[in-house]
Amino acid sequence: MKKQPNINFGAAILFLIFSLLFFVLIFRFVSIQVTGEAAGHALAAKAQQKYEREKTIQAKRGTIYDRNGEVIAEDTISYKLVAILDKSMKPDYVKDPEKTAAALSKAIDLEESEIYRILTKKTEDGETPFQVEFGKEGRDLPLKTKREIEDMELPGITFITDSKRFYPNGVFASHLVGYVEKKKSKTNKTDTVGMLGLEQSLNDVLTGKDGKFSYESDIWGYLLPNGDQKIQPAQNGKDVYLTIDKKIQTFLEDSMNKVDEEYKPKKMVAVVADAKTGEILAMGQRPSFHPKTKEGIEETWHNEVIENSFEPGSTMKIFTLAAAIEEGEFDPNEWYKSGSYKVTENSPAIRDHNQGRGWGSITYLEGVQRSSNVAFAKIVKEKLGYEKYREYITKFGFENPTGIDLPNETGGKIAYEWPLDKVTTGFGQGSAITPIQQVQAATAIANDGKMMKPHVISSIVDGDKNEVLKKTKPEVKGNPISAETAKKTRDILETVVSSEKGTGYKRYNIEGYEVAGKTGTAQIPDPNGGGYLTGHENFIFSFLVMAPKDDPELIIYVAVQQPDIDLSTNGAEPVSKIFTPVMKSSLQYLNIEPAKELKANSEQAPEVEGKTVEEAKAALKKSGFEAIVLGKGSKVERQVPGNMYNLLEGERVILKTEGDLTVPDMNGWSLRDVMKVAKLADIKLNTVGSGYVVKQNLKAGSALREGDYLIVELEPPAEKYNEENAENAESEEQQEEEEAVLD
């Protein structure tokens, strides 16, 4: 009983304490419910921070295409190999480094011992790192390698998905296209950044904007079924379409590789352009580099076609000649004394390239053909006059950059102070210009006086919206000469190649085509001062040409600096080994018909369109032509060539009928006849070799559809004849053996 009051008092105290705690909790609970805050922090935001996850949706860098939609540079998915070493990540950590190293060495390009070293390495504090990577051998892995490693089921081995820039063509207009590198930004984010060429100058256009995907998850990070989800789509980079033609660029790269290997020149540049639009179809140089591995980039960072100006040599005579014709100051039949010529009494004599011996008194036409410096010195000083010629230098755009859509272009350096400077500029010495300036100026000669601005970007497209953002149109930069002058200039330049006196005779002939061009042999200033380098090989050998001569489609400029040649080798040889295969292959690839070499007994094909097939065949046979019918219809819808063309006796006339077309047997056909089929059926033609058809990929009699690829293999008649003789001899030998066995 004595203890009872104490017990009651203690119980009352406890009741009071618990009541106060209860009221405090109730108050706290109500206040949190009302305000949504605790300790000054918004609880909703805290909960969202804890349970909401956010993932980046990576934007794709824009793709670079050629003019036909062939990929030149694109982003592709790649995988980075990672090994988890932290044992707290059981069971997903590397338990057996020795076994793992042995397995991985079969899948990636690393020795087993090196992989084991990576898997067992420690930090500076002697601790085991959470994870390790495998250097460049473990990066940019293709899907096939990833799946191969996954099939090994190695604990602790995982992958991080990444993107890489893929250049499917390797060394391919590398200084024009450029390359990219991965760089960390200030926010510690790894970005892809263009470092050279169009990848650099169009970096903002090609770079997209990452999106993000946010969602609510449980404490383990899994997506809640009814949780909020927010998606902000990525904005991919814009796609860029170039004027470059993959096929022509490949012709150029292959030819330059062969010359580089054979002659080992210090430098080479080459450009192929559309004569009518100024579009650059191919552009290459050596040294070059591989845009993925960067191998060779240390040899030159410059696009030599647009960033380097040098003395052009005799290719400059093209424009001096055009200026003289335009001013009515060039008479091809006028005579002058070649050899040497003094501009002023005190100036050194201008000498022709044969040590000043010259060729005696010759006509100015022969002076052009022989590339006489004296002829052009006299044209500048005595015919045009210094001031007038200076105007044409400006008109042809040799002072300023062309404005081509490539970075870091430089302009020309025109030395035009003293009389000797003015005269030597007329034949390509003293002043310096860029290859692209020469190509731009040549468009005026090829394009009936209209000088076209060169460009390499055809269009920029938003691939997400399928919307063309920019379309480049042909731009006329000026009209330095008339159409009549352009034609006369081309006619004279054609003789540089076709005349026995021409510096381009035989070496630059293209079978079946007439070309108009000018060779160049430019001196190289001595870097130590005191004039020019001496020696048989110490020149820049070049050729600037357009074809076909009467209606040029292509302009090609090739320059080869200091090739490794002996005294018996002409410096034009390496130049021709680039120009000739590239021009010939390009003309054939573009289905540009060869020049028509007409015989005295040539006739016009009769008009047979609208006639029945039988009537057409009879009419053509009567005129001495062979009719080839594409299709099984009864009526002729179209014929190639038409009745306005003169044909050779026995030449084939291709007839198209209504209905489905069929492939003819083209064995023994000339390229000219094959091109008629390609034109009429609207198919794409690729050729291998030269001469007459010995093989075709499309089977004779099979269906011929628009857009098909026709590949024909050609051989010269002599090779075909030798093969046939060999086959006949082999057949006869086999028959004799069979007869001996029977006996």
Q: Kindly give the pairing relationship between strand 554-561 and strand 267-274.
A: antiparallel
Mean pLDDT computed over 46-65:
68
Q: Which of 177, 207, 237 is the C-terminal boundary of a domain?
A: 207
Q: Give 27 or 100, the one with higher predicted confidence.
A: 100
- Minimum mean pLDDT among 21-35, 241-255, 424-438, 628-642: which range? 21-35
Q: Residue 233, Cα to own-chain centre: how many angstroms?
A: 32
Q: Judge contact between 381 and 343, C-beta under 8 A.
A: yes
597 has a pLDDT exceeding 50: no
| Candidate from 12-21, 230-239, 609-618 with smallest mean pLDDT | 12-21
The answer to whether residues 347 and 382 belong to one domain is: yes
Average pLDDT over residues 69-76: 92
Residue 612 lies in a domain: yes
Residue 123: what pLDDT? 82
| Residue that has been written with the tokens 């250097």 in this structure | 135
- Per-residue burial over 607-624, b = 16 or more CB atoms within 10 Å of its CB, e = otherwise: ebeebebeebbebbeeee
What average pLDDT score do residues 670-698 get? 82
Question: Alpha-carbon distance 619 to 606, whole Å?
Answer: 7
| Any domain includes 241 | no
Confidence of residue 410 (pLDDT cuts 50, 70, 90): very high
Of 221, 272, 228, nearest to 246 (Cα)?
272
Q: Is residue 235 part of a domain?
A: no
Q: Can you give the pLDDT at residue 724?
A: 44
Residue 726 has pLDDT above 90, yes or no: no
CATH of the domain at 609: 3.30.10.20
In a domain, 729, yes or no: no
Residue of higher predicted confidence among 256 and 463: 256
Non-local CB neighbours of 258 within 8 Å, separated by 6+ positions: 577
Looking at the structure, tell me whether residues 11 and 152 fall in a common domain: no
CA distance 312 to 436: 11
Q: Is residue 281 part of a domain?
A: yes
pLDDT over 50 at 361, yes or no: yes
**One domain, residues 93 and 10:** no
Domain membership flag for residue 648? yes
* Contact of 110 with 134, CB cutoff 8 Å: yes
Report whether pLDDT(20) > 90: no
Q: For residues 352 and 66, what is the distance between their CA atoms, to the nearest angstrom?
A: 44
Residue with tokens 């040549």, as numbered in its chain: 442
11, exposed or middle or buried, with CB in 10 Å at 0-12, 13-18, 19+? Answer: exposed
Residue 18 pLDDT exceeds 80: no
Residues 166 and 277 in one domain: no
What's the pLDDT at 740?
35
Are β-strands 361-363 and 211-216 bridged in parallel, bridged antiparallel, or unpaired? unpaired
Query: Catalytic annotation on 255?
Result: no
Which stretch of 30-34, 135-139, 484-488 has the lowest confidence by average pLDDT? 30-34
pTM: predicted TM-score of the whole model, two decimal places: 0.72
Please report the pLDDT score of residue 705 as a whole number.
Answer: 81
Residues 153 and 84: their CA atoms lie apart, in Å, by 14
Question: In this predicted model, which residue has the larger pLDDT, 187 or 455?
Answer: 455
- Does residue 675 surpass a pLDDT of 50? yes
Pairwise pLDDT comparison (650 vs 677), residue with the higher score: 677
CATH number of the domain that residue 201 is part of? 3.90.1310.10
Q: Does the pLDDT value for residue 454 go beyond 80?
A: yes
Task: Give the separation between CA 423 and CA 341, rounded to whole angstroms.
Answer: 11
What is residue 716's predicted lDDT score, i.e. its pLDDT?
Answer: 65
Of 538, 563, 589, the domain-final residue:
589
Domain boundary among 178, 207, 236: 207
Residues 451 and 320 placed together within one structural domain of the fold:
yes
Helix (H) or strand (E) holding 64: strand 64-65
State the CATH number of the domain containing residue 495: 3.40.710.10
12 shares its domain with 105:
no
Q: Which domain holds residue 153?
A: 61-207
Residue-averaged pLDDT of the chain: 85
- Say if residue 49's pLDDT is above 50: no
Residue that has been written with the tokens 């081309």 in this structure: 490
Closest CA to 440 of 450, 427, 432, 448: 450
- Specify whether the CB–CB gap between 677 and 666 falls below 8 A: yes
Q: What is the pLDDT of residue 743?
A: 32
Residue range 649-655: average pLDDT?
74
Residue among 174, 255, 314, 542 flagged as catalytic? 314
Which residues are within 8 A (CB) of 531 and not within 5 positions of it... i.e. 6 or more apart? 525
- Based on the fold, state whether residues 381 and 469 are members of the same structural domain: yes
Residues 181 and 287 in one domain: no
**Is residue 386 very low, low, confident or very high in pLDDT (cuts 50, 70, 90)?**
very high
| 192, β-bridge pairs | 182
Specify whether 533 is located in the same domain as 561. Answer: yes
- Structural domain total, the chain: 4
d(CA 165, CA 176): 16
Which whole-number Å values give the CA distances from 589 to 248, 432, 585, 599, 692, in the listed order?
Answer: 8, 34, 6, 27, 16
pLDDT of residue 425: 95
Q: Is residue 738 part of a domain?
A: no
Domain identity same for 119 and 21: no
41 and 65 together in one domain: no
Mean pLDDT of 292-308: 93
Which of 16-20, 84-88, 145-149, 325-329 has the weakest average pLDDT? 16-20
pLDDT at 652 over 50: yes
Residue 97 lies in a domain: yes
Sign of CA dihedral 496, 500, 503, 509: positive
Question: Do 545 and 669 have their domain in common?
Answer: no
